[in-house]
Structure 1
Amino acid sequence: MARVLILGGTSEARALAALLVALPGVEPVSSLAGRVADPALPEGDVRIGGFGGATGLQRWLAAQSIAAVVDATHPFAATISRSAAVATSALGLPLLVLSRPGWTERDGDDWRRVPSLTAAAQLLSHDHAPAERVFLTTGRKELAPFASLPQWFLIRSIDPPDEPLPPRHQVLLARGPFAVDGEFALMREYRIDVLVTKDSGGSLTEAKLTAARRLELPVVVVDRPPVPDVPVVETVAAAAEWVASVLGAG
């Protein structure tokens, strides 16, 4: 059996694990960071927790006789993606990035793209007509750039967000998928003036963009970090084909 490490935590990673479990000669092992209290678990073997950087990951890959790695983490999980690139290069292991396509601006959208959460917070503070009520959907971590802003924030995340947080805020714990009608009603109920989101892509949380378009609200979109210089595919099927090809399986 050829063991394949799936760096996971996304719906695409779970779907890939389900395909690889059924692939003759392949044993998928999914790794979750452990940042979500009650994660949705994939099929097959699962490990939870960090590796200790690129060096720790390299040691683990060698000890576990891993034959290939698929990085199917969240598009903003830049640290583990860099570690995977370094560790697999050192061991001469094949590495693939499975990354869902980012969102595309449509007619009627009012997007302001920024390179980071810090830049998003700066935009909110320096805007000539600053929004008073912000819907912040960038996850529970790295919210410190917004902690000094005077606006009121509705912060939505799966688990309670890390401090520091803005002095005026309300936390809404929820897990997608979200429907357009629900997002529309939520933004109207809380009288949202601007939506702030990461360009996560996918359909699970895309409804908020449609709702913002209907409400003619501006959207601050944080661009993705760069992907390591390795092969990249956008679909689960393509990732499964790559695994079968590099391992001569199936």
Structure 2
Amino acid sequence: MKKKSMTEKPLLFFIGGTGETAPLCSSLAEHGYRLLVSTATDEPLSLPDIPDITRRTGRLDLASMTDLIRQSRSSAVICAAHPYASRVRETAIAAGSALGLPCLIYDRPGTDVANLRRMQKQEADSNKLTGIMWVESHEQAAAFIGRARGAVLITTGANNLDVYACEARRTGVRIAVRILPRAESITKARKAGIADENIISQKGPFTEKETLEHIRRFNADLLITKESGTAGGFTEKIHAARRAGIPVVVIRRPRDSFPQNVRITQFFDEVIEWITRTLAVK
């Protein structure tokens, strides 16, 4: 294997797939870095078509990710996977650490929970109050399905749909799901026993108006979602439910714990500062 030349731009192994991938990669490239962008699917990302950014697709386990990072001669690992993709984050850190490389987790900014609580307090006397119930898992969220009188709109993605479908069958409640327009996602929904007429196959993030239309289409009186942050359209979902006068069950983000040597940030500029400082030291 040939050695890096003294003038070669550092290569960063970047794990992406969310809406932040393209702008963050573009910024890193503008600051003089090459990137190997790895995503689990071939979902369009609007990455700039420049020589310094290469993309590969397909899921990686620890062994294959470690081999790929080693063979690419990457200088650092940056993981900007979805905040609920705990296993991907763990794999990225383990692979980078095994090779002695610096690792950073870009953690999509969350929701202003305090502001949501103020909103609820201000509407305490309203018949349109949107209750927000926070839970820790899909199983806990599914337990609320039986409380619905009409239908339940589920916007947690295509994974774990079996949990909701099972509870829906047990309670006799209709569920509708909103998932990505990918064959893999639609197949998962169908395998869970969800009929096509109850599947919304569209790519978000969605506006408040769009989510309200989906709620009304199925006459849903309960919304189940994740705390996906501003980039994931979380606030729009809450406001749509508020306008519809229905409660929301929210699955909290995983409480991931990372080694002390792993940098975690929610800001693009801190990613740039960290990689510049870290590689300058090396």
Taking structure 1 as the reference length, the TM-score comes to: 0.89
State the one-letter code of the partner of 2:82: H
2:211 counterpart of 1:183? yes
> 1:61 and 1:214, CA in 2 relative to 1: closer, same or farther beyond 3 A?
same
Of the two structures, which has the highest relative contact order with CA contacts closer than 8 Å and spacing of 6 or more?
Answer: 1
2:62 counterpart of 1:54? yes
> 1:113 and 1:161, CA in 2 relative to 1: closer, same or farther beyond 3 A?
farther
Find the counterpart in structure 2 of residue 154 from structure 1: 176
Find the counterpart in structure 1 of residue 158 from structure 2: 140
> 1:80 and 1:204, CA in 2 relative to 1: closer, same or farther beyond 3 A?
closer
1:177 and 1:58 map into 2 onto residues whose CA distance is: 32
Unaligned runs of 5+ in 1: none
| Aligned partners of 1:184 and 1:211 also within 8 Å | yes
Determine which of 27, 30, 47 is the counterpart of 2:37: 30
Determine which of 26, 42, 45 is the counterpart of 2:47: 42
1:215 and 1:209 map into 2 onto residues whose CA distance is: 10
Give me the identity figure in percent.
27
Find the counterpart in structure 1 of residue 254 from structure 2: 225
2:165 and 2:58 map into 1 onto residues whose CA distance is: 28
1:114-161 deviation line (CA, Å, top 9, x unaligned): 111122112324xxx434311110111221101221211121111225
Which segment is superposed worse, 216-225 or 204-213? 204-213
**How large is the Cα RMSD of the aligned pairs?**
2.0
2:218 counterpart of 1:211? no
1:122 and 1:152 map into 2 onto residues whose CA distance is: 14
2:240 and 2:226 map into 1 onto residues whose CA distance is: 16
| Aligned partners of 2:37 and 2:54 also within 8 Å | yes
1:168-225 deviation line (CA, Å, top 9, x unaligned): 6600111123222232233223211011011111234231211112222111111112
Aligned pair count? 242
State the one-letter code of the partner of 1:208: K
> 1:80 and 1:152, CA in 2 relative to 1: closer, same or farther beyond 3 A?
same
Q: Which of the pair has more CA radius of gyration?
A: 2
2:75 and 2:141 map into 1 onto residues whose CA distance is: 40
**TM alignment of 1:193-212, pairs within 5 A:** 193-206=221-234, 207-212=236-241
2:104 and 2:163 map into 1 onto residues whose CA distance is: 32
2:115 counterpart of 1:89? no
Unaligned runs of 5+ in 2: 1-8, 121-129
1:166 and 1:152 map into 2 onto residues whose CA distance is: 11
| Aligned partners of 1:111 and 1:219 also within 8 Å | yes
| Aligned partners of 2:19 and 2:231 also within 8 Å | no
2:98 counterpart of 1:76? no
Find the counterpart in structure 2 of residue 165 from structure 1: 192
